[in-house]
Structure 1
Amino acid sequence: MQLKPQDFLVALKLVAWGEQRWTYARLAQELGISVSEAHACIKRGLQAGLLLPNRELPSQPVDAGSNAALGVQEPVAIYRVTRKRVRRSALPDGEAASDNAVRPHLHNLVEFALHGAKYAFPAEKLPLVVGVPTSHSAPAFAGVFAPGSTDFVWPHPNGSVRGVGVEPLHPSVPFAAMQDAKLYEMLALFDALRVGKARERGMALERLQALIDPGAPKPAKGPMYG
């Protein structure tokens, strides 16, 4: 089993939702992936220890045509803002009974997010491009850093900021971030760990941990270079 970027994205989405009621259909719709891929992400997240089961998960039938019908994921070079529609008729049997099938394993997830994910999913910087702000350039951090810092963006045709491009964790990230402010903040903080300078990484460590697992001890502060 190899953990995929979308598995980490799904785990962060569940953190953003907190105690909200959710289904695989809603998870797929808000992340811009197919229902079958949402099931696969949950399965891999459980195997990796990033998620905990609330009950036994229903089996997921394999339907070769379902991905095409649901619009699985967008090409890497194109990030659409339009909301994807999920066809209820394509949902697996028992979908209505699968609400909140799992929950995040907060201790494991925060450990992975702070110390492992940037190595598992390294950042790829791109040329200057118009896109959606990320890292310290994201709206959640307005006023935190002095003007003049290099802006980082996820390439997007409807973007509002020109900056250094950063390949998003997953092609659906710009879409998913626009649906959920807390998820957007966590994804931007993760990018700060991947591409930010020492001060930005230090801030991201504390803030990302506080968002994922507020009750965890604060990360140790050591010298950070770069």
Structure 2
Amino acid sequence: MKQHKGMRPLDVIILLKLAIDNDEGSRIKDLSSKLFISGSEVSESLNRSSIAGLLLPDSRTVNKEAFLKFLEHGLQYVFPAQLGPVMKGMFTAHSESSLYLSFSSEEKLVWADELGKERGSTILPLYPTVVKAVKKDRILYRLLALCDIIRVGDQSDKNKAVWHLREAFQGRA
């Protein structure tokens, strides 16, 4: 039996991808190519998530209720975000276009990206390949932006972000 040595930020990304894909393309090779994360890292991530109870036993199906509780109550503490300098990048958190009108923050936040067209205060994405992966997956982009709201937003915005994540996990967003 493998020992759990703590969650890593890439685990959140992999679990989000599994949650929205509903077991389609959940092979390690598929996840690796879609997320630009090595196969060995995906495999280790799945092991950590399984041990933590974030995957249903003997499957690659996300335990959505447990995962949502982790995002709501642990994400901001386990993987906090700190604002960095103003740079070019890709909008995230409150600034992501589908979320902009639903949240209270006026501050523009971006993941740094030299090809980005937007400017704002930077926050580090949960994993370096996030920007590349979300350019090919609009739903994952939205969910990671919601996670960033949990990481940096006020309590009201965090509550709304959790609500949006719950809706997405139930296939209504």
TM-score, L = length of structure 2? 0.88
Structure 2 CA distance for aligned equivalents of residues 22 and 193 of structure 1: 26
Report if the CA contact (8 A) 2:75-2:150 is conserved.
no
Which amino acid in 2 is paired with 1:126? G
Q: Report the alpha carbon displacement of residue 15 of structure 1 after superposing the two structures with TM.
A: 0.8
Report if the CA contact (8 A) 2:98-2:142 is conserved.
yes
Structure 1 CA distance for aligned equivalents of residues 149 and 62 of structure 2: 22
Q: Report the alpha carbon displacement of residue 48 of structure 1 after superposing the two structures with TM.
A: 0.9
- What value does the CA root-mean-square deviation take over the aligned residues? 2.0
Name 2:94's counterpart in structure 1: 136
2:15 to 11, 14, 21: 11
Structure 2 CA distance for aligned equivalents of residues 35 and 133 of structure 1: 28
**How has the CA–CA distance of structure 1 residues 36 and 136 changed in structure 2, closer, same or farther, with 3 Å as cutoff?**
same
Report if the CA contact (8 A) 2:25-2:31 is conserved.
no
Q: Identity of paired residues, percent?
A: 32
User: Following superposition of structure 1 onto structure 2, how do residues 51-200 of structure 1 map, counting pairs within 5 Å?
Assistant: 51-54=55-58, 101-145=59-103, 149-200=106-157
Which amino acid in 2 is paired with 1:131? G
Deviations 1:81-128 (A, max 9, x none): xxxxxxxxxxxxxxxxxxxx5110111101101111111111121110
Structure 2 CA distance for aligned equivalents of residues 210 and 114 of structure 1: 14
TM-score, L = length of structure 1? 0.69
Report if the CA contact (8 A) 1:118-1:194 is conserved.
yes
Report if the CA contact (8 A) 1:8-1:45 is conserved.
no
Which amino acid in 1 is paired with 2:137? D
Residue 31 (structure 1) aligned with residue 35 (structure 2)? yes
Q: Would you tell me which structure has more helix in proportion to its own residues?
A: 2
Structure 1 CA distance for aligned equivalents of residues 103 and 52 of structure 2: 35
Q: Report the alpha carbon displacement of residue 199 of structure 1 after superposing the two structures with TM.
A: 4.0
Deviations 1:67-93 (A, max 9, x none): xxxxxxxxxxxxxxxxxxxxxxxxxxx
Deviations 1:177-207 (A, max 9, x none): 2221111111100111111234432321211
